[in-house]
Amino acid sequence: MSLRILLVRHGLSSFNLEHRIQGRDDLSSLTEEGLQQAAATGAALAELRLDAAYSSPLRRALHTAEALLAAQGGGLTPQLDNDLLEVDLAPWTGLLSSEVRERFPEQQRLWREQPEALELQRADGSIYRPIPELMAQARRFADRLLAAHDPAAPGHHTVLVVGHNAILRCLLLVLLDLPASGFRRLRLDNASLSVLNLTVAEPGSARRFSVQIESLNGTAHLHGQPCASHLPAKGPGPRLLLVRHGETDWNRQGRFQGQIDIPLNSNGHAQAAAAGEYLRRLRFERAYSSSMARPRQTAEGILRHHPGVPLTSVSDLVEIGHGHWEGRLEQEIAAEWGPLLADWKRAPETVQMPEGETIHDVWERSLRGWNRIAAGLAEHETALVVAHDAVNKTILCALLGLGPADIWAVKQGNGGVTVIDYPEGADQPPVVVCLNQTAHLGGVLDRTAAGAL
């Protein structure tokens, strides 16, 4: 019983190319490159069976959906939904971004820094707030989507949603139960693919279903063989690449590893090598890893293409201490600590591992280590950070505005790559540029070992 939602932003449009504000007017059209991006996305999804497809009626989105579905080969026709229309920026529509900055400097600053507070005036003189309106619109669409494709229904369903930058960001916030203030924490590039998995929540959970971000803003499928030049472009400010270590035998077996120092297996070394090939064209100024063997070996595999880059061990980034659970399979833990394991799955923030750590302990030290790394980077620098499942999840939850209760909302595959930018500097809010990219390991879905956490 599950629902997979594939979110795709429309391909490159004429207004994207000209750096014009599009909004919800239908003045912009898909470029030839945008059509090619849509077809490439469809080809990347060819192995999947889609149960339904939804699209904004604006032609740049609709033509993306049509070209994608034709290449995907499933024979679906997109269902048009007005609640997938793009944000209403009526006074700015058609203007160059530079013109908006010149003519509306204070409003443009607010749009950049605190978009949920922006107010604009319609032609009839009425004042409105674009992002709160868009959040309500996203919530309506989400409610209808989940009514039509209930995660509790028997079987596994996959649904495609093709829309625009702002509405898809708001849809992500709504599904993750995050406020509009998280709007600028997310990035969605043209024809990017984001994958969400919805399942029935564990008994006793506050919500009816659980949401997991499997991946966010993937663009490697647009370029053939994935390489680092196909990551979303870096802007001003430092950039950090957060990678989970490669596979171990215990990941494959589903054993709780924690702080037992299990090395990579042969597949884990291959994953590290694939990540290294993927990132070889990047320039790293610095590299950091947990002091444990499996992340250090993964970092060393990546850094083979970057001789001279120093690798620093950070003890704050070691994996969660599972205490008496370490080295055990889930069924063994269930036999002795059944209620506590159920709580761990339902409400991880409430659990004290037997002779181990809490997720709050990991949250505090992993964020301390991460923030020190970020604060030490110059504006132009890019750093590699390799750590563990729980550590990466706590870092990413914090960066997304989630809390310790939400660690299951973020997936971290072995060898998966996540990119974080600090466009205004390390002391200002970050942007999750892309999350858990595993295309270098084969395909657009994460097929790495589930492991145990």
What is the per-residue pLDDT across 256-301, written as a single tens digit (0 to 9) for each? 999 999 999 999 999 999 999 999 999 999 999 999 999 999 999 9
Q: Is 5 exposed, middle or buried (0-12, 13-18, 19+ CB in 10 A)?
A: buried
The structure tokens listed for 20 are: 């014009």
Domains present along the chain, CATH in parentheses: 2-200 (3.40.50.1240), 229-441 (3.40.50.1240)
Q: Which residue has the tokens 């709160």?
A: 132
| Distance separating the N- and C-terminal Cα atoms of the chain | 22
Q: What are the tens digits of pLDDT across the range 402-430?
A: 999 999 999 999 999 999 999 999 889 99
Catalytic residue flag (residue 379): no
What 3-state class would DSSP assign to 251?
helix
Nearest Cα to 173, choosing from 158, 162, 160, 188? 188
Catalytic residue flag (residue 202): no
Rounded to whole angstroms, the maximal C-alpha distance in the chain is 67
Q: Is 137 exposed, middle or buried (0-12, 13-18, 19+ CB in 10 A)?
A: buried
Q: What are the tens digits of pLDDT across the range 367-388?
A: 999 999 999 999 999 999 999 9
Per-residue buried b or exposed e for 195-227, using 16+ beta carbons within 10 Å of the residue's own CB: bbbbbbbeeeeeeebbbbbbbbbbbbbbeeebb
Q: Kindly name the residue from 164, 245, 322, 388 that is annotated as catalytic.
A: 245
Q: Kindly name the residue from 247, 319, 326, 357 that is annotated as catalytic.
A: 319
CA gyration radius, the chain: 22
User: Is residue 185 a contact partner of residue 400, using CB atoms and an 8 Å limit?
Assistant: yes
Nearest Cα to 14, choosing from 34, 42, 37, 38? 34
The model's pTM is 0.96
